[in-house]
Structure 1
Amino acid sequence: MNQAIIIGSIGLWRKFLKDTLEEEGINTICFVDTVESGMSYSGVPIITPEELPRYTKGFNGLVLVTFPVNNSRRQVFLDKVLGYFEKPVHVLSFKEVYKKYKNTLLKARNVGDFWLRENYDKNRALSVIDLLSDEKSKHIVESWIKFRETLDIDYLVEPEEPQYLPDDLELQRFIPNEYSFLDVGAFVGDTYLFIKKKLAEYGKKLVLYTGIEADQKNFSELVKTVQNAKNEDEKDILLNIACFSQNTFLEFSETGTTLSSVSSFGQKNNESHKIKVFANALDTTFKGFRFDIVKVDVEGSDIECLSGMKEVLVNSRAIVMACLYHRPEDVYEIPEFFEDLFDDYSFFVRAHGTFYIDTVLYAIPKP
């Protein structure tokens, strides 16, 4: 079995797995992905499931599944992909892939991808556990630390859905019937659509949506999303700026994907190009504003962004959702920041993605 087809994976992790397979004499012939289809990495095409028949005729290699199949949506996708193979094939599950090809994880750690970078303060990470308000949150952070230390796949926690409104936290209880939402790192409006729809089920009405997105391509899609979905009496503020601790200009890679500020290994035809964008301390932009929900997901500048909006956060006394997975320091710097900033808040951590991607800190004001 000297050929492989990889289902899923993204960016650097795609590269690491492909390179690990090559070291063992296994050639990756394609990646299957609905998000980045039409791209390629190092001559290996990224295709949709419908394109698989071009690659599966006579195929007798490995099929590597790079995500846990933990919900019906993923199971349907996997079944669809496997349905395109002419005969039964050797399929490695998510855990089997990363146990058998553990060098993939070592490569990720060696280059410091996302939160796997080694130069972090373990003692500060451990101390954060005492700030958290439930046993699930403490278990997630403890497991995160153990996985960093060992790269043992068994320390991964099961991702849970839905992101930003996890069922067990019942955030709707803390949100007024008419609410405002500050969405920092709004991407193309996916969180806007989800939160608006989900809270409507509880009789909640969005009256002001404020979306901040630095990537021009994503911002254009965000504008379309809001224009198509907003209610007649719903107000919106959409800004094509970055968020930082001070007013300045920042340079980042524009890709029009969720990886706007990090290097991507799957580019269409040419590499992403560097652009300069205006970065704003949101305390200067939204002086006097109050929000009921604040979400921050800005690809590694999260603590800088939060530092530039202290007044907004304190004055709003909002539910704050901040991503913890972009840098290893985030897991302690952001909870420490909130602990110093807020009075009478509870802090919860939930992991919504594989490998602790989409791990979010929920800061909730106490009644």
Structure 2
Amino acid sequence: MLKIYPERLYPEAIEFCKLFLHEKTRPRYVLGRNEYAVSIAKFVDINGFIDDFTSETEFLGKPIVKMDDIPKESMVVSAVIFVVPLTAIEKLRGKGLYCIDYFSFFKYSGLRLKEVPFLRESREDIENNKNKYRWLYDCLMDNKSKDVLSKLLNFRFSGDLNYMQGFEHAPERQYFEDFLELKQGEVFVDAGGFDGQTTVEFIKRCPAYKAIYFFEPDLNNIAFARNNLSGHNNIFFYTMGLATSRNTLRFCSGGGSASKISETGDIEIEVDSIDNQIAETVTFIKMDIEGAEDLALDGSRQHISKDHPKLAVCCYHRVDDLWKIPEKILAIRNDYSIYLRHYTNGLHETVMYFIPEKDRNFKSNLS
């Protein structure tokens, strides 16, 4: 049974916040240099920022230092949020440093820090859609999927990073779990191909593929991907986004893997549907398109209904993706087994898999 637990109180976190704000004889640092780090520096006269991945020496008038160079008596708030917040805390503790994660500091410091909107919106969605999440929990095929959902929802509900224990950053496994059972002759759709690395991983696991359809609207990304994949045959590149039908939409470019369709985008791009662009039968569709998965799934209805492909769909860009995406897919075909996996110890990189069930009768839900 899915359980959302009451928030726990951590006296040690409260004590850290009191010391960080008022004990000025100990050095105080922030790990990271993002907008959350900036919000801390607005309220606390810190000694500097920790960043092991830059040659810069100053930020906001404060020194940038390496983790190994700060005094052992230092206090550190980690502003690492989305991918490896737990890893960051474990690394700080491994150095013997007194530290806290941003989620706890936000909760207990009493400062008007920059919030993580995804957490607030997630909590509201969980409170308003408990039955949807219970339905999803019951749909999941294995205990690991149920455990992933339980941990993710409790982290989203409470901001308690302890729920992310057991997760690791594992990009090499993302989209390619054993239950996919890739076979010779696969026709793969890489929707949101970025730099081509996901397609590289696919080819490693399925060298005898038939064809690959690669969709990426960002010009810099797709140029890099073409070069990255130049030694492979039968890859068809589409410099376009994916949606319900052919259209021109605004797009935020230059964001690397986070480039996305947005009304405030700096350029216009062409978009179209998978159904319009691909004529042959497809066997595996991967989608990571920064919140446009819903539109792209609408534009894949014919292929999903007729071809019954395996699906690996990112479901973390919008707070309600976890239940809306399976609702949409099962409304097209209900003969899928659903698995859930998570590939960081932060908010990003949750993937839902839909594996065709071959022994169930199916009636098309297409109008």
Task: Classify the secondary structure of the residue corresponding to 2:144.
Answer: helix
Distance 1:130 1:209, change over 3 A: same
Q: 1:16 is matched with which residue? A: 36
Q: Which of the two has higher C-alpha Rg?
A: 2
- Find the aligned partners of 2:63 and 2:229 in 1 and give their Cα distance: 30
Match of 2:166 in 1: 158
**Where does residue 29 of structure 2 map in the other structure?**
4
Q: Which structure 2 residues correspond to residues 203-282 of structure 1 after superposition, within 5 A?
A: 204-227=207-230, 229-230=231-232, 234-261=233-260, 274-282=266-274
- SS of match in other structure, 2:167: coil
Distance 1:122 1:60, change over 3 A: same
Two-structure CA RMSD over aligned residues (Å): 3.8
1:102 shift after superposition: 3.7
**Map of 1:55-204 to 2, 5 A cutoff?**
56=69, 61-62=74-75, 66=80, 67=84, 90=97, 92=99, 96-98=100-102, 100-103=104-107, 111-112=117-118, 116=122, 118=124, 121-123=128-130, 124-156=132-164, 158-159=166-167, 161=170, 162-166=173-177, 169-172=178-181, 175-197=182-204, 199-200=205-206, 204=207
Verify the 8 A CA contact 2:48 2:63 in the aligned structure 1: no
Query: Aligned pair in 2 of structure 1 residues 104, 41: CA closer, same or farther (>3 Å)?
Result: farther
Could you list the per-position Cα deviations for residues 61-89 of structure 1 after superposition, in whole angstroms to 9, with x for gaps in the alignment? 4456643677xxx99xx69xx9xxxxx77
Gap regions ≥5 residues in structure 2: 1-25, 359-367
Distance 2:55 2:256 in 1: 14
Structure 1 residues without counterparts, runs of 5 or longer: 83-87, 264-271
CA shift digits 1:185-232 (9 cap, x unpaired): 0000010111211x15xxx512311110011111111111111x31xx
Query: 2:309 corresponds to which residue?
Result: 318
Question: Percent of aligned positions with the same letter in both sequences?
Answer: 19
**Are the aligned partners of 1:126 and 1:142 in contact in 2 as well (CA < 8 Å)?**
no
Alignment partner of 2:51 out of 31, 50, 60: 31
SS of the residue 1:32 aligns to: coil
Change (3 A) 1:337 1:39: farther
Tell me if the contact between 1:184 and 1:296 (Cα under 8 Å) persists in the aligned partners: yes
Contact 1:183 1:212 in 2 (8 A): yes
Deviation of the 1:131 alpha carbon: 1.7
Contact 1:111 / 1:117 at 8 angstroms: preserved in 2?
no
Q: Structure 1 residues 40, 262: closer, same or farther in 2, change over 3 A?
A: farther
Which residue is 1:266 aligned to?
Answer: none
Q: TM-score, normalised by structure 2?
A: 0.74
Q: TM-score, length-normalised on structure 1?
A: 0.74
**Count of matched residue positions in the alignment of Structure 1 and Structure 2:** 320
Q: SS at the partner of 1:205? A: coil
